[in-house]
Structure 1
């Protein structure tokens, strides 16, 4: 499982609202055209999405007390279930709030939340907690997430997020 994300132009947001079936095309390209290349997602937290969420929210699945916990698992369901749930749409207003919350979290705070035993007990995906995976590996993905949200916020854009 990986978490991917895409910023939406005004026209793309309108098409998603008008026809939620366009979500797949926006995230994966034209699935009926076997010769077409799949577009690169603007955000790919790879298999580290769940650990990033845990660091931001302090929980395996809840959004936590802070706004930053909504960065990975927030938004409203839209479109078809792709196997791990439908995509989620994060409005431009919410993007700005989450971007500000992500910017306010420093790496030292997140590093202090990194606890392999607690993450294993919470069954955080992927099950790598017996390995010596450094906190900085997750912090790199948090930095990607910050840039993604900040770019969308600065451009007044909504986001699509999906676990594939």
Structure 2
């Protein structure tokens, strides 16, 4: 399971709200066209998504305000792709998340990194007791998450997220 995200222009956001079936095309391209390539996601957190969510919220599945909504927040939209429907975050929520992510530093997140607690909470993937390399893995993807939300907020865009 990996988490991908896509920034949505105002027109794309309006299209998704008007017709949720456009979600799949925006995230995965034209699945009916055998020759069409899947578009590259603008955010790809690989398998780090659940670990980052834990660092942001201290929980496995609860969604918080601000940075706590960066991974699992938003409103479900479209069909269930196997790991739940995609989630849509409006531009105001994106700005709040970006501001909260920008306020976090590595030391704060390191203090929240508890491999034993993460293993006990079944945080995906089950690699947390392997050593400190996992924290570095999370931080490389956290930096990507922060850049993604910052750029999206600066441009006044919405976000579409999906676990695939």
Q: Give TM-score, length-normalised by structure 2.
A: 0.97
Name the residue aligned to 1:32. Answer: 32
2:135 maps to 1:141: no
- 1:8 deviates by 0.3
- Stretch of structure 1 that moved more, 149-158 or 125-134: 125-134
2:156 maps to 1:156: yes
- The correspondence of residues 45-64 of structure 1 with structure 2, limited to 5 A, is 45-64=45-64
Conservation of the 8 A alpha-carbon contact between 2:5 and 2:160: yes
Structure 2 unaligned residues grouped into runs of 5+? none
- 1:157 deviates by 0.1
Q: Give TM-score, length-normalised by structure 1.
A: 0.97
1:115-164 per-position Cα deviation (integer Å, ceiling 9, x unaligned): 11010000000011232233121011111110010001000000000001
Structure 1 unaligned residues grouped into runs of 5+? none
Name the residue aligned to 2:87. Answer: 88
1:47-88 per-position Cα deviation (integer Å, ceiling 9, x unaligned): 110001001111100124x52111000000000000100000
Name the residue aligned to 1:98. Answer: 97
Conservation of the 8 A alpha-carbon contact between 2:43 and 2:144: yes
> How much is the aligned-residue C-alpha RMSD, in angstroms?
0.9
Conservation of the 8 A alpha-carbon contact between 2:73 and 2:89: yes
1:6-39 per-position Cα deviation (integer Å, ceiling 9, x unaligned): 0001111111011100000000000000101100
Distance in 1 between residues matched to 2:59 and 2:67, nearest whole Å: 12
- In structure 1, the residue corresponding to 2:77 is in which secondary structure? strand
